Structure 1
Amino acid sequence: MSAKQPSKWAILQVVNMGTLISTLDVGIVNVSLPVMADQFGVSLAQIGWVATIYLLTMVALLPFLGKLSDRLERRTVYSCGFFVFGLGSLFIALSHGFAALLLSRCLQGIGATMIMANSQAMVRQVFPDHERGRALGVNAIVISIGTLSGPAIGGLLLEFADWPWLFWINVPIALVACVLGLRWFPKGKSTAAVKSRIDFVGSALLAAGACLLMMAAEAVKKSSAFSPQTLAEGVLGIVLLVALWLHSRRIDYGILDRELFSRRKVWLGNASSFLINLAQTATLIPVTFYLQSQLGYSAWATGALLMLQPLVMGFVAPFAGWFRDKYGGSAPIALGSLLCAVSMLFVALFPDVTPITVGLQLAVFGIGIGLFHATNNAEIMSAAPGSKSSLAGSLLAMVRYLGQIAGIGLATLLVGSMGSAGGAGESFGVPIRVLFGVCFLFCIAVTVAGRLVPKEKPTQESVSV
């Protein structure tokens, strides 16, 4: 192919580039926070906002920018997202004050949101239905690697360079991706989406509710307990989301799009994704604590064992995508969620929990999410109307974060005392077995719900905007 008509697989690499840098920067900064706190003369609690504000920006703006991208030219919004991300990274590296650092991090988060809101929509636009599974399988691997390997990569870079280099490296990558996006991404916008109105009230309710829930989750993750303020934030966040649901029932252009969620594959796929992400996050937290505090593993050894999950997922996801493209998605979704459920039994039922059983749990769950995510994402994006694919992709990313928030809350509720004076000797006692048992039920519920998904093979349709 000529340079003006690149292969769709070449376009996928640009998409993966954006997915990697936007998810990697969620965790890559964490290891540098103590050094940054020392340099800017602030407390560790204050410097924690450098990590939090990035996530808050993404959670607040994902659905709104997804809706906006469907109205405008997706190619332009996506490519400009790389530029904004790179600009934010540049400003962070050059920051001399704490306020400037936070504002720059927020700008970087806006760019990351513009990228994440359109990543899966761009795959849907470029790939026909019978190839989306493989493409989104590769993209699911990148999401997992970027999300889980951030701290490890950040720690490695800090061995050889100062913390600003964690952000300097983003600048050339973002600029190259911006240029390639403007040159390679397909032009055109949906005429159907241009006519739709934007639900500003719903967007504000969703942003505020999700941000309050995330702030509550971050607070309980640090303190391992529910304070009155944390409970108030969580309850108010839930109230705002209920208000959003009531608001969306009154209008036909809501951010919770009626047409989108009237499609069974879309609402059921998002609900299933929420539960699987909840189970993943809720079980990773106590496993991490157990390895370090009970078995005496170093942070490096713990990280190496936890990497089993994305590594196994990386091998499985492309196969799952291929199978979905050839035979349909119902079998990989059901088998994947069933394996996720079975993995919980290694902790919930085994008399002794050892590093081997933890490794088995991580590996089997990794196989499960490799089968599930690649297939489920492809099914959702293929079921969504082409004119609303950015909104569908952004809501799917939003659901992933909400599932992680709920997982943190569930883990804190059931095993928040783990490691305290009263709970240090319990090791993997009753509370943590209950936690894994609850997550087993969630994963089984996804398996059962999978029977409601229409068993359809992907079509040979051409790509669409």
Structure 2
Amino acid sequence: MTQTRSATAVSPSDSIPPHVWRIAGVVVFGALMSMLDTSLVNIGLPTIGADLHASLATVQWVASGYLLALAVSLPLCGRLARRFGPARVWVAAVAAFTIASCLCALAPGIGWLIFLRVLQGLAAGVVVPAGQTILGQAAGPRYLGRVMAVVGIAVVSAPAFGPTVGGLMLDHLSWPWLFLINLPFGVVACVLGLRVLPRQPGTRGGAVDLVGLVLAGGGASAVVYGLGELGVRDANSVLSVWLPIVLGALGLAGFVFRSLRRSEPLLDVRMFRDPVFAAANSASFFAGAAMFGLMVLLPLYFQILHHESLIRSGLLLLVYGGGGIIALPLGGRLTDRAGGGIIAVCGTVVVAATVAPLAFLPVDANPVLVQVLLFVCGVGTALSTMPLVSTAYAAVRHDQMPDAAAFVNILQRIGGATGVALIAVILSRMAESGRPALSGYHLAFAGICVLSLVAALASGVLLRVRRS
């Protein structure tokens, strides 16, 4: 796995072949569709509940079931990509996601909608890692930074534009259109995927390790579920919070132990023996926790603390997404030139430096100042996430890319759930204590700042490992 250490020796003037850009465009198109769907549907939950006569606790499973299913399918993605080829898996997953979207729009009741959202989540869990596998294999270590920066457009723009798009749709259309909007995009993505993506032959392998799949998929989903419940229930709740987290952690530990003893594991955990791959994923875990936590906190900051409407809150968040989109190409080029470690250190420090003032500003703070901070924070977020992903992929062989993509996305998903849970716990506990709402948001922003600093330290470890 040492052939990828030469990323710093690549000339930044090397132009990326046109076919790689075409592949990147198709992959980003599919990723943007699946990620935008999450923010659109979450906005429509109150409307869906009212129309289908479901309680808030029940309708929340439309979102929770999707996220849990997504965590279940991630461990299987590597196996499917190796067996059938990542391009075939990507097209099949996009097609399944599109069909499930259509069925969700036609759901006659809340029970059917939850069930169909689970199927949609199973497909969505495969789209992003399969696409990253295709891109990683097509680009190779030489162009990974710049190409993976394109994938970051979906990660940054979907949460930024989703609230605005969803609010406008609900103002003029019924909630099924939140799902029907996926149909034309899904059809176009499948056609482009069949025409553009390289169809590499799969490799014959043994039977799927069903026990490993249960341990990995069930463990990851249990941890994500427990962390999600931590933010909405009593932290001392054993059955709802700590039992799923403990059982999930034991399941993941059992999966690691089982994989080390098998000649053909579901996912090759031995890749973590590579110090660069291990360090990049560790840093990505904390950077993902800060990013996803911030993406949950910022809409609440405008809607609840500043009493902004859903659409106006979305408009105020556009500057955050815009900063990320502008910085992504630069971050990719710098990653190819200097390596992801130093770029991630700078990015995470920028996030911490721009979030820290929000932990002290009053409610009536200058709105221009807040927008400037959010723009720079978006720049830092772009520089703190995708360079770590690029570095992790550059540390593995071509044939290991499917497993690497699965691991990167699993750790980011659990890291994101950790960051969201931290924000939810802080806000709910501060509200229960009777403290002013502003105090809760100040503490929440401080929590994001701490996560970013931990990510900076982990990125520093990555920098030292690569240099050694």
Per the normalisation by structure 2, the TM-score is: 0.86
Counterpart CA distance in 1 for 2:258 and 2:134 is 30
In structure 2, which of residues 182, 189, 196 is the aligned counterpart of residue 170 of structure 1? Answer: 182
* 1:141 is the counterpart of 2:153: yes
Distance 1:165 1:227, change over 3 A: same
Match of 2:430, SS state, is coil
1:104-139 Cα deviation digits (max 9, x unpaired): 222222322231231111111222432222221111
Query: Which of the residues 193, 213, 217 maps onto 1:207?
Result: 217
Q: Partner amino acid for 1:208?
A: G
Moved more, 104-113 or 300-309: 300-309
Equivalent-residue separation in structure 2 for 1:377 and 1:189 (angstroms): 25
Instruction: Structure 1: give runs of 5+ residues left out of the alignment.
Output: 457-465
Q: Secondary structure at the match of 1:7?
A: helix
Q: CA deviation at 1:390?
A: 2.0
Deviation at 1:80, TM superposition (A): 1.2
The aligned length equals 449
> What is the identity percentage for the equivalent residue pairs of Structure 1 and Structure 2?
28
Give, in angstroms, the shift of residue 455 of structure 1: 4.6
Aligned twin of 1:369: 381
8 A Cα contact 1:347 1:436, kept in partner: no
Asked if structure 2 preserves the Cα contact closer than 8 Å seen for 1:294 and 1:427, the reply is no
2:350 corresponds in structure 1 to 339
The 8 Å contact of residues 347 and 433 in structure 1, kept in 2 or not, is answered as yes
Corresponding position of 1:244: 255
Question: Which residue pairs with 1:460 in the alignment?
Answer: none
1:165 Cα deviation from its structure 2 partner: 1.7
Alignment partners' CA distance in 1, 2:39 and 2:341: 33
Q: Greater shift after overlay, 108-117 or 248-257?
A: 248-257
Counterpart secondary structure, 2:466: coil
Shift of 1:337: 2.3
User: Residue 313 of structure 2: SS of its match in structure 1?
Assistant: helix
Name the stretch that deviates more: 422-431 or 334-343: 422-431
1:314-346 CA-to-partner distances (Å, cap 9, x unmatched) read 111111111222343333122222223323432
8 Å contact from structure 2 (residues 162, 314) kept in 1: no
Q: What secondary structure sits across from 2:431 in the alignment?
A: coil
2:416 aligned residue (370, 395, 404): 404
CA contact (8 A) 2:292 2:420 kept: yes
Report if the CA contact (8 A) 1:417-1:423 is conserved.
no
Answer yes or no: is the 8 Å Cα contact 1:137–1:373 preserved in 2.
no
CA contact (8 A) 2:427 2:444 kept: yes
Q: Is 2:284 the partner of 1:273?
A: yes
Partner of 1:379: 391
Q: How far apart, CA to CA, are the structure 2 residues paired with 1:135 and 1:242?
A: 33
2:325 maps to which of 298, 314, 317? 314
Q: Deviation at 1:222?
A: 4.0
Residue type of the alignment partner of 1:270: N
1: CA distance between counterparts of 2:430 and 2:89? 45
> What's the offset of the Cα at 1:290?
4.2
Does residue 114 of the first structure (1) align with residue 126 of the second (2)? Answer: yes
Asked if the contact 1:59/1:398 (under 8 Å) is kept, the reply is yes
Residue 90 (structure 2) aligns with: 78
Q: Residues 202 and 255 of structure 1 are in contact (CA less than 8 Å); yes or no, is this contact kept in structure 2?
A: yes
Per-residue Cα deviation, 1:340-390 (whole angstroms, up to 9, x for no partner):
332343245x57573566545433332222123232222222222211212
Among candidates 48, 53, 56, match of residue 36 of structure 1: 48
* Cα distance, 1:310 vs structure 2: 2.0
Taking the aligned partners of 1:17 and 1:357, their CA distance within structure 2 comes to 33
Cα separation, 1, equivalents of 2:263 and 2:39: 38
Question: SS of the counterpart of 1:96?
Answer: coil
Letter in 2 for 1:206: A
Q: Give the distance between the partners of 2:39 and 2:195, measured in 1 at CA.
A: 30
Change in CA separation of 1:99 and 1:432 when aligned onto 2, cut-off 3 Å: closer
CA offsets, 1:86-116, max 9 Å, x none? 1111211222233332232222223222312
Verify the 8 A CA contact 1:121 1:390 in the aligned structure 2.
yes
For residue 67 of structure 1, report the CA deviation from its aligned partner.
2.1
CA distance in 2, matches of 1:123, 1:178: 16
Relative distance call for 1:264 and 1:199 in structure 2 (3 A) is farther
Look up the SS of the partner of 2:278 in the other structure: helix
Q: For structure 1, which segment, 313-322 or 387-396, has the greater mean C-alpha deviation from structure 2 after superposition? A: 387-396
**Which amino acid is the alignment partner of residue 334 of structure 2?**
F
Cα deviation code 1:270-329 (max 9, x no counterpart): 111110111233345455444444444444343333333221111111111112223433
In structure 1, what is the Cα distance between the partners aligned to 2:236 and 2:142? 47
C-alpha distance in 2, partners of 1:141/1:224?
36
With 246-255 and 7-16 compared, the bigger mean Cα shift is at: 246-255
How far apart, in 2, do the equivalents of 1:98 and 1:234 lie? 27
Report the aligned-residue RMSD: 2.8
The equivalent of 1:233 in structure 2 is: 244
